[in-house]
Amino acid sequence: MSKPVVVIAEELSPATVDALGPDFDIHHVDGTDRSALFAELATAHAVLVRSATKMDAEAIKAAPMLKVIARAGVGLDNVDIKAATAAGVMVVNAPTSNIISAAELTVGHILSLARHIPAASGALADGQWKRSKYTGVELYEKTIGIIGLGRIGALITARMQAFGTNVIAYDPYITSARAQQLGVTPVSLEELLQKSDFVTIHMPKTPETTGMIGAEQLALMKPTAFVINVARGGLIDEDALFDALTAGTIAGAGLDVFVSEPPTDSRLLGLENIITTPHLGASTDEAQEKAGVSVAKSVRLALSGELVPDAVNVAGGVIDPYVRPGIPLVEKLGQVFSGIAAHSPLTSVDIEVRGELVEFDVSVLKLAALKGIFTNVVSETVSYVNAPLLAEQRGVTVRLLTDPESPEYRNIITLRGALADGSQVSVSGTLTGTKQIEKIVEINGYDVEVPFAKNLIVMLYTDRPGIVAVYGREFGAAEINIAGMQIARHEAGGKALSVLTVDSEVPAGLLASVREAISAEIMVEIDLTE
């Protein structure tokens, strides 16, 4: 039998080829040459890329035998995951390959800002000896504010503590026990901005976090403070940052990522009090080698039919066909769960599977639930292998429970969690009909039956006349179209849970005004990630 064909479309380390081993027919091609790429894809079983090769719908269609696309890095902007999933092609990446490199680059930005290293070097290269102009500050006893205490945030914490700094952190999903373990003081975002001498942000980019550091937040910072972003472009409002830097609201900034890359037209590049790097977070020899070796191992697993922990769209491996449709359902339930639970850190979660499904191995559903829960919570890419680790790092107890009895549905899956503030959250879902439509059937004890949609709004309020008219008028005035709605309650005049599906994202300010108008206890928008 002929060996499976593996196409390497960009330059990868020799260790990557070694990790693939002798079991594959390896072809090399310039992935930016579309005609040459398509010719190789015609017989490819796997393709390894970095960031230059575009594996879009057209490229995937040109590869009828393709089983796996492997991105030797963290980001997946050059891979059409939806098209790959529709074609049954697994997509894998290397989610942990760059965490040390990203943490070290952050520290480099902090040191460079504190001591004006790039500007001083540039002046000296121009023949200028300006020691007094570039007088800096020590890091010792300064306060470092970390927004997002995931793996990269934890690595930065350890490194900055070695400088004798005081580290405080804002992370709505971290428990006090985990913060104490890291030696970090958890604070609100407002307190962090007010107290920090250096603020570094390490959050995922979601509708909720895009622009989370804007004019209002920058105004809270000390005029001697600095802000750093090596995570995702757009977490800091670039226009607001330009205004703050030119007005002296803050002392300076360090950016490795931008809304538009390369940022050729950015006004920020001309400022003296900003340090910029061209998205170098993963640009180290070590990170590139780790990424290549990691995805090579994933390709071997995928082509041998085994479970691939770093798959971002399908789990792969020996999973019963009856269980497999539950994977995307549970991932979506996880995203809904974390959206509703966002007001307090999660301390424990049970994944309860009831019905005929329990006759099979459903352990992958536990991984899928955790992957969904953390997808929009942490800055790094979440996979089946790191999701349990993310839970462990945050002190979250996780259990998989099974019960063959399911009185109402053939199968039902429930995520039930306890939060640090003493409250509980639950979300249940099932697959219905011959088309196996994914539906939410319960939220916090209220029975609903809502098909999943990209944009969901969940509200809890005291049931009384006129409420629907209030929020319907508010959304209508903002040209937010309500595509579907369901209201559940236990008794008249008690609490009512309303779930809306809308056709577009809802601005945070509008949600806040609607919440106030109807005195809602819960008012959240959940943007489901494909």
- Catalytic residues, by residue number, are 232, 261, 279
Q: How far apart are CA 68 and CA 310, in angstroms?
A: 12
d(CA 428, CA 444): 9
Q: What is the dihedral of CA 109, 113, 118, 124, to 10 degrees?
A: -150
Rounded to 5 degrees, φ, ψ at 408 are -100, -30
**H helix runs in 446-496, sequence order:** 467-477
Q: What type of residue sits at position 54?
A: K
Spatial contact of 502 and 482, defined as CB atoms under 8 Å apart: yes
For residues 15 and 94, is the Cβ–Cβ distance under 8 A? no
For residues 228 and 199, give the distance between their C-alpha atoms in angstroms, rounded to a whole number. Answer: 6
User: Tokens 């999973």, residue?
Assistant: 319
Distances (CA, A) of 310 to 6, 135, 274, 313, 370: 18, 46, 36, 9, 14
Q: In the 8-state DSSP scheme, what is residue 381?
A: P
Q: What is the DSSP letter of 410?
A: S
Amino acid code (one letter) for 13: S
Structural contact between residues 292 and 72, judged by C-beta atoms closer than 8 angstroms: yes
Q: How far is CA 91 from CA 79, 159, 514, in A?
A: 8, 33, 39
Strand pairing category for 495-502 and 455-462: antiparallel
C-alpha 22/C-alpha 29 separation (Å) is: 19
Rounded distance between C-alpha atoms, residue 441 and residue 62, angstroms = 40
Q: Annotate 233-263 with DSSP letters as a single string.
A: TTSB-HHHHHHHHHHTSSSEEEES--SSSS-
Question: Do the strands 455-462 and 411-419 form a parallel or antiparallel pair, or are they unpaired?
Answer: unpaired
CA separation, residue 63 to residues 12, 69, 76, 315 (Å): 21, 11, 19, 21
Residues contacting 158, CB < 8 A, separation 6+:
182
Four-residue CA torsion sign, 69, 74, 80, 83: positive
